[in-house]
Amino acid sequence: MPNPQDVLPLPPRPSLERYRKLAKELLKASKSSDETAISEWTNRWIEAIAKHTHGKRPAIEKTRDANRTERFAREQLSESCTLSSAQFVIARSHGFENWPKFVKHLNALAKQSSSLSRFEAAADAIITGKFAALRRLLREDPQLIHMRSTREHQATLLHYVAANGVENYRQKTPKNIVQITNLLLEAGAEIDATANVYGGGATTLGLAATSIHPELAGVQVGLLQTLLDHGASIEQLDSPRNRPQAVLSCLANGRLRAAAFLAERGAVLTLESAAGIGRLDLVRNYFEDGGVLKPSATQKQLESGFLYACGYGHTEVVQFLLTKCIDLATHGGDGQTGLHCAVIGGHLDTIKLLLQHNPPLDFENIYGGTVLGQTLWSAAHGGDPERYTAIIRTLIAAGARVPPRHAAINKQVDDLLKKHGSHTEPTWYWSEDEKPRF
């Protein structure tokens, strides 16, 4: 599978014999003259998993799982149409590096008294907030705190409190996660243990700071403070990346509050990260009196910092950096200019400031979206109708070209575009239950 997170959950009592049969069925489907055979095999498997795993999975998640698994199966079996290849597809789909490791996991899981069974139960207790159950498991088997998952990411139990990097279906943050974290640390969890995700060297603090789940649960700052109180290192300078990245990682993942929190507690800042958290006082310090960059900063940091400032709506920082000969067509390799970034963030004041400097309105990002095109996409995927209506009106007044036809977004935006000659296709709208979450 593409990464250790995109894995399928195991049923409560997985059967090795059932998986062996499943592999044979996949091999048979791959040799069938029916082009839909693998697709049908995948859909049956995904439906069976959804039926036997706890918690109702949204249809959109099941569709993504099915598409990803089918694509992976076709790729592997097109190279080698053998039983071992079919078994490899199943093992990797569940997050294991190969079939023998998957078999070993299932055999150990079949014994309820095994350490592996207890580790899996402890991981479930963490993400569901079952404090008493977790405490009991740690008392019964103190070595659990030092164990690592047998899945590819090799996470410890402490990593699961971050709700990031581990298997997607276990990325959940209960309200009592700070209490649970304290329990794990008091039991002897290694505070800076690393997991094999995102290139390796990922600590619990780093994963928690970049995770959306503790932020949505309203406990991210408390979780980060708890980890710091127990001696967690903010920067991992001996990691594979070997550079200060705590604040930048937060900014790259949309975690502005966590970025500012870590900056206040001693995270290393560069021109790029200082601009990203809106610290104009620090940004100014990277320039000589004549406006030239000091040796401690680079042009690349300047350009990246400008994009972050636009994306997070730090209008004062943007205004200052505009005096430093910024090319308004600059982007980070994805075609997203500062104006694109401001649109994605929905920052009207920043957009109005940038428009005063004649930015390129028709510059396309890697998805083929102009600034207005990006605006329409953002409006259709969770954007506030009133905010994006104002942004669209502002861009049109500045000369942005309105497409003759567009996919339906919402009535407020569609009515505005209709006044400018654009028509919807198709003419339907997301309901609140159906609306995608990105």
Give the pLDDT confidence of 241-252 residue by residue, as tens digits. Answer: 556 689 999 999
pLDDT of residue 64: 86
Q: Give the model's pLDDT for residue 1.
A: 60
pLDDT single digits (tens) 204-234:
999 999 999 999 999 999 999 999 999 999 9
Q: Nearest to residue 170, comparing CAs of 5, 1, 3? A: 5
Contact predicate 378/344, CB 8 Å: yes
Own/partner contacts of 405-408, CB < 8 Å, gap of 24 or more, are 406/376, 407/376, 407/380
DSSP string, 48-100: HHHHHSSSPPPHHHHHHHHHHHHHHHHHHHHH--SHHHHHHHHHHHTT-SSHH
The interaxial angle of helices 177-186 and 131-140, nearest 10 deg, is 10
The tokens of 166 are what? 């581990």
Predicted pLDDT at 236: 77
Of 38, 63, 39, 68, whose CA–CA distance to 50 is shortest?
63
Low-confidence ranges of the chain (pLDDT < 70): 1-2, 53-58, 60, 237-244, 426-438
Instruction: Residue 205: name the closest of 188, 187, 221 by CA.
Output: 221
Residue 350 to residue 354: CA distance in whole angstroms: 6
Which domains are present in the chain? 16-109 (no CATH), 337-438 (1.25.40.20)
Residue 133's SS3 state is helix
d(CA 39, CA 66): 8
**What local confidence, expressed as pLDDT, does residue 432 receive?**
42
pLDDT at site 6: 87
For residue 438, the model assigns a pLDDT of 25
| Secondary structure of residue 145 in the 3-state scheme | helix
pLDDT for 396: 96
What pLDDT does 325 receive? 85
pLDDT at position 388 is: 95
Q: In 3D, which of 110, 101, 112 has the Cα closest to residue 153?
A: 101
The upper half-sphere exposure of residue 39, i.e. CA atoms within 13 Å in the direction of its Cβ, equals 6
SS3 44: helix
pLDDT at 436: 36
DSSP notation for 183-234: HHHHTT--TT--BS-TTS-B-HHHHHHT-HHHHHTT-HHHHHHHHHHTT--S
